[in-house]
Amino acid sequence: MHKILISDKFDPEGVARLKEAAGMEVIYKGGHNREELLESISQAHGLIIRSSSRVDAELLSRATHLKAVLRAGVGVDNIDIPECSRRGIIVMNAPGGNSVSTAEHAISLLMALARNIPQAHSSMKAGKWEKSKFSGIELTGKTLGVVGLGRIGKEVVKRARALKMNVIGFDPFIPAANLSSLEIDIVEKEQLLRESDFITVHTPLTDATKDFINKNNFSLLKKGVRLVNCARGGIYNENDLLPGLESGVIGGVALDVFSTEPVPADFPLRDHQAVIMTPHLGASTTDAEFAVAMETVDETIEFFQRGIARNSLNFPTLDPESLDFLKPFYDGGTRIGKLMSLALRGEVKEIQIIYYGEVAEYMTDPVSAAIIQGALEISCGDEVNFVNAPFLARERSIQITEEKDAESVDFSRAVRVRMTSSQGQLIQLTFTSIQKEPRVISLFGLPLEFKPEGILLLVENQDVPGVVGSIGSYLGRVQVNIASIELARESAGKKAHCVIAIDELLTADQLADFGKIDHILRVEQIDLR
Ligand code: NAD
Ligand code: MLT
């Protein structure tokens, strides 16, 4: 049973669907406070959160069984992702479901700013009739600067254009050619600040977006500009907004998000007439909550039932075509890593991975992670998984190098791994995929072909007549069946190698006796089950 703890308020249909899914036990009580979450986390295999729960080092230190954190929503600023990665915990978000709701909220705030609707409403509620005080401006023909042209930014652009606004956009991370369907001018930051009557931001909070508007760039702004923030608090410097409003540089501000949430009682912007605030409502619609909950539930089921991490933020997400192609390399990678590190019999110091032919054209990080995971399994046990394997390798000063040779004349699709021990021993293996299964095609630089699975004996022997016969007789005597045997030699009469797949594990004594067979130089039993 996978125990899934949902620690923030969650759509009831989502909770019900998760409860119905095979192998899931759901812990949900409509929201855990911090103490309750700290207390319950040790039993959880999966944690679903929204924006209220904080996943930090303290919580993670108690999360002894946690495999995945799922953020029902976009922003992951409440999750310590590096710490999750270090602990091998995958982090996923559900980014698509609330884009439209958030874009609509931004447009609502834009309109509210233009027509002073909240202020007029409060005045009416207070029994007044202040018609001239709340005169506004039209949106038609005004310039809207949209910062960040991702999912939400794009939705905002479409709606603002329908309102006949002149929309300009800034997003240094998307090539302008990819934004041509928006039919807006893509401009630099300074131009956007100079020309916009309204600015709305739709980026994450990063070093580059923090204080995107602050007192140092007020001089660039069009006088009376109105600002909307439905993204993250701090993109507009909150301390600078008040002097900006008081000097008239800024004509109005609408904030849905804040540097500190909930907002402190003495928040300086609270009392300013030209400031509109909503309590982080961008995604708070029944439609978005439902869509995000379903997306999160699907991701949870997919991860715990099939091991697929969609929308992962600390592990590369593969599209279905890449997943299908890379699966044998990815599945085989863990076993190859394990096989090689066992055969090396020493502490792994260096892993070199070379991707040849078609494989080199794909995003191969998951394959590398799988190989590293396998190599570390002996020293790290269950502690290592594909998320933290590269981190653990780095912590252990294991040098990892990757190369790609898409034009290879030797291989149409293959992965070669070279592993070196701290004693300087080297082992080399090449594998490919045949009928969607991993298949080793060379080991120790010799053409040894076998499936990396089950129980294998890696044997090194002198190349003299009768060795294979002696091996067969010995295994027959101890009643161990041979599934397959592959032979290759370095040169006639010198050293030879064979890989024998057997049906049952040899005991330690049997293995020692095997090693004493005439002309056997070395034997290694590898359990890949
Ligand atoms: P997204 O990843 O689809 O888009 C973000 C865009 O910002 C990307 O295109 C990226 O290139 C751009 N960007 C990043 N750094 C930039 C920079 N320095 N300058 C200009 N552009 C930059 O994300 P999204 O789903 O559109 O969400 C955007 C933001 O909205 C996120 O911070 C998210 O947390 C927030 N959000 C808030 C609410 C709410 O309730 N108010 C709801 C959903 C999302
Ligand atoms: C998000 O990042 O998805 C939003 O801020 C919505 C939320 O946290 O509820």
Residue 172 has a pLDDT of: 86
Mean pLDDT of 136-151: 97
333/301 same-domain check = no
From residue 232, alpha-carbon distances to 76, 154, 158 in Å are 11, 17, 21
SS3 assignment, position 231: coil
Q: 71 lies in a domain?
A: yes
Q: The tokens of 217 are what?
A: 């760039």
219/328 same-domain check = no
Catalytic option among 202, 280, 416, 439: 280
333/448 same-domain check = yes
Å from CA of 183 to ligand 2 middle? 28
CATH number for the domain that contains residue 399: 3.30.1330.90
Q: Last residue of a domain, which of 432, 453, 474?
A: 453
Highest mean pLDDT among 72-86, 130-144, 478-492: 130-144
Structure letter (DSSP) for residue 312: B
Tens of pLDDT, residues 490-522: 887 789 999 999 999 999 999 999 999 999 999
60/157 same-domain check = no
Catalytic option among 13, 58, 130, 261: 261
Q: Please state the pTM of the whole predicted model.
A: 0.76
Q: Last residue of a domain, which of 453, 477, 509?
A: 453
Domain span at 265: 99-277
306/340 same-domain check = no
316 has pLDDT over 80: no
Residue 223 has a pLDDT of: 98
Tens of pLDDT, residues 455-493: 999 999 999 999 999 999 999 999 999 999 999 988 877
Residue 174 has a pLDDT of: 83
Mean pLDDT of 245-274: 96
- Is-catalytic flag, 280? yes
164 has pLDDT over 80: yes
33 has pLDDT over 80: yes
- Mean pLDDT (the chain, rounded): 94
422 has pLDDT over 90: no
Instruction: Return the closest-CA partner of residue 425 out of 528, 345, 479, 359.
Output: 345
CB 507 within 8 A of CB 455: no
Mean pLDDT of 146-166: 97
224/77 same-domain check = no
Q: Last residue of a domain, which of 438, 453, 468?
A: 453
CB 49 within 8 A of CB 55: yes
Residues 336 and 305: their CA atoms lie apart, in Å, by 24
393/497 same-domain check = no
CB 8 within 8 A of CB 28: no
22/135 same-domain check = no
**How many structural domains are present in the chain?**
4
CB 293 within 8 A of CB 72: yes
CATH number for the domain that contains residue 226: 3.40.50.720
385 has pLDDT over 90: no
Residues 192 and 478: their CA atoms lie apart, in Å, by 80
Q: 473 lies in a domain?
A: yes
Mean pLDDT of 97-123: 98
Q: 284 lies in a domain?
A: no
Mean pLDDT of 314-339: 89
Residue 37 has phi, psi (to 5 degrees) of: -65, -45
Residue 126 has phi, psi (to 5 degrees) of: -85, 10
Most ligand 2 atoms within 8 A of CB, residue of 74, 101, 292 to mutate: 74
Instruction: Return the closest-CA partner of residue 20 out of 395, 345, 301.
Output: 301
326/470 same-domain check = no
- Is-catalytic flag, 270? no
Q: Which residues of 50-73 are buried (b: 16+ CB within 10 A; e: fewer)?
A: bbebebeeebbeebeebbbbbbbb
